[in-house]
Amino acid sequence: MVLGWRMTWLKMVACTLLLVTGGAVSDADAQNANGQKKRMVILGDSITAGYGLDPDEAYPSLLQKKIDDAQLPYTVINAGVSGDTSSGGLRRIDWVLGQKGADVLLIALGGNDGLRGVSPNETEKNLSGIIDKARAKSPQIKIVLIGMEMPPNMGAEFTASFKAIFPKVATAKNVQLVPFLLQGVGGDLKLNQPDRIHPTAAGQKIIADHLWKDLEKQL
């Protein structure tokens, strides 16, 4: 009796949706109605965490707004930790993904590796390990690797080797690459806080805008 009532109710809901939408029920509507939004995890450091800013001003929150405006069924998880490195990301990726895993993973790590002079080979190994662990947890996960660059004072040889890490890993692991997280922001005093490392709110907005150009296609 209960099952019959439930089936009748579901049919009524389905008919109502068909009438309202003209027969087309979007994935976003279905996901939201069922409370089953997909998960987008952003694994990063202080730039991702929004160091020195209100959390709502950090690019993960700005991406969430763009996703909501586009009526896409994704919840953004900001897994940015100030000071984190690629080795730290490798250690915590299983915990960050949790039992549910994720549908999309953005990897925005490596900047602190470079500033600390970590061997590019080590950073490459760690980033590859993060991708492997994510796929082991969620085989269908979409992964975007976001590159970073070092300032010239780190030396020409090191900066070139460091920059090459990201396209190399992206090609080897067959993931999407965004070449430079701070495109249009890095080195601009007006878009960075006094430490010249962390973006201002305006800088974070530029980051979100250029990431969205790639993410919108993926989502």
Q: Which residues are identified as catalytic?
A: 46, 195, 198
Which ranges in 70-200 belong to alpha helices (H)? 86-97, 111-115, 120-137, 156-173
* Sequence-distant contacts of 152-158: CB under 8 A, at least 24 apart: 154/114, 154/115, 154/117, 158/114, 158/117, 158/120
Rounded-to-integer distance, Cα 207 and Cα 185, Å: 8
The single-letter DSSP state of residue 98 is T
If we measure between CA atoms, which residue out of 165, 202, 197, 177 comes closest to residue 82? Answer: 197
| DSSP-assigned letters across all residues of 40-63 | EEEEE-HHHHTTTS-GGGSHHHHH
